[in-house]
Structure 1
Amino acid sequence: MLFDIIFIRHGETEFNREWRMQGRQDSPLTAEGRAQVLALGRTMAAHLNAIDSWFISPLGRVRETSQILRDCFERESGAIALPQEEVHDRLVEIHCGDFEGRTQQEIDADMLTRIRKSPAMRYPGGENMLEVVDRAREFLDHWKTLIPTPFAGEHRTVVISHGNFIRAMMAAICDLPPEAGIRALLHNAAVCRFIARDQDYFFRMVNWNDRSHTHGGNPFGPV
């Protein structure tokens, strides 16, 4: 028995490049962001022989990332029938409230530092990381309902989301304190992979912030 969940952060966006707070706002992928995702899609198509479920955040930058990845499978791996894409509201990025759309230079630096160091500190008019960790746990609870009991075999899930959400998920899925998530670095189009070998869902982290696909590597090797 093997449960394999692959979390992917969206490719670089215009706001990312400008160091602008994005949150629930949106901006398109840059040319570099599309290239990052294309490299990942080709690697996925070459090395993943089955995907059982596919979840995405509703925001446009994730939808664009997902479409590039799925197009790669259609072009380069016709043997795999991809599952239907399921949009899940709990996968959305942290709400940065009044800071959204502003560059980091336009925001009070001391306040931003306090928010980033404390999971209980809330963005003005937005969320804190504790709430995002709760959303991550709710998504996991939903995902577990899709698995029949008893289950034998392998189940692989792809989840495309956002930097802060995936950091929160790391704390949720590994039963770590929320502080663990805010200390983790996560780049655009990076892969984070977790596996469990029984229906107690005791997940272990296999990859974090893996960008080996950008230089010919494979984040999806056997575990």
Structure 2
Amino acid sequence: MTSFPKIWFLRHGQTEWNAEKRIQGQLESQLSPLGRSHARQQAELMRPILAQEPTCYVSPLGRARETAEIALGGAECIIDPRLAEAHAGDLQGMTLPEVEAQLPEIWAANPSHLDLFCAAPNGEGYGNFHARILSFMQVLTEPSVVVAHGLLGQVMRGIVLGLSRQEMAKLSNQQGCIYVLEEGREQLLQ
């Protein structure tokens, strides 16, 4: 198993579309008031971590950048396009009930969000998504903070933990917390 430097992973706070159960993928949706509260919770947890001056990376998507601004107190971040959420193709912008009603075969065959996004017609697919995340992780040389997205976090955490795709899809996907990844293990700070 490949070894990576310590990673503090933060999922963005709740967005308006999260609250509507609408698939964002690489589309934009603003943080909800609850989402800004999630980022403030992360800011409390991040204070002692930021004192160590880790390198900070953020997805180019607005919800992650707004979360980083709040949670990291304006610390300098490197925007890396490899940290964008999975591109969910034709499903982007649809609500989960709309997917279930309009694409029942895809819905039935893909019970997890990770599988659903990766099965999306005209989407990125799991292989490309996994490769993109791994390519980012392989260039990390020092302890790093990553502010990104739920499915990206499940795959990144799964890579560190040595999990299968099915196991990755079952990982928790919380907001307002920090997942600490180190030496093949995960710790949740909340």
| 1:56-135 alignment, distance < 5 Å | 56-71=58-73, 82=75, 84-107=76-99, 108-117=103-112, 119=115, 122-135=119-132
| 1:36-55 alignment, distance < 5 Å | 36-46=38-48, 48-55=50-57
Asked if residue 206 in structure 1 is aligned to residue 189 in structure 2, the reply is: no
Structure-2 residue corresponding to 1:32:
34
SS at match of 1:51: coil
- Report the count of equivalent residues: 182
Equivalents in 2 of 1:58, 1:124: separation in Å? Answer: 23
Equivalent residue for 2:178, pick from 191, 194, 210: 191
Q: CA deviation at 1:171?
A: 2.2
Structure-1 residue corresponding to 2:152:
165
Q: TM-score, normalized by length of structure 1?
A: 0.74
Equivalents in 2 of 1:205, 1:191: separation in Å? Answer: 14
Higher relative contact order (CA 8 A, sep 6+): 2
Equivalents in 2 of 1:113, 1:161: separation in Å? Answer: 28
Letter in 2 for 1:111: I
Letter in 1 for 2:149: H
Q: Is the 8 A contact 2:13 2:38 kept in 1?
A: yes
Larger of the two Rg values belongs to structure:
1
SS at match of 1:133: helix
SS at match of 1:54: strand
Q: CA deviation at 1:122?
A: 2.2
Structure-2 residue corresponding to 1:136:
133
Q: TM-score, normalized by length of structure 2?
A: 0.85
Q: Is the 8 A contact 1:51 1:158 kept in 2?
A: no
Letter in 2 for 1:204: G
For structure 1, list consecutive stretches of 5 or more residues without a partner in the other structure: 75-81, 148-154, 196-202, 213-223
Q: Is the 8 A contact 2:41 2:177 kept in 1?
A: no
Which structure's residues are more often helix, by fraction?
A: 2
Q: Is the 8 A contact 2:161 2:186 kept in 1?
A: no
CA offsets per residue over residues 11-57 of structure 1, 9 Å max, x none? 00000000000001011100011011112102211565313200000
Q: Is the 8 A contact 1:98 1:125 kept in 2?
A: yes
Q: Is the 8 A contact 1:9 1:160 kept in 2?
A: yes
Equivalents in 1 of 2:186, 2:160: separation in Å? Answer: 12
Q: Is the 8 A contact 1:133 1:178 kept in 2?
A: no
Taking every aligned residue pair, what percent have the same amino acid on both sides?
Answer: 26
Letter in 2 for 1:60: G
Measured on the aligned residues, the alpha-carbon RMSD in Å equals 2.3
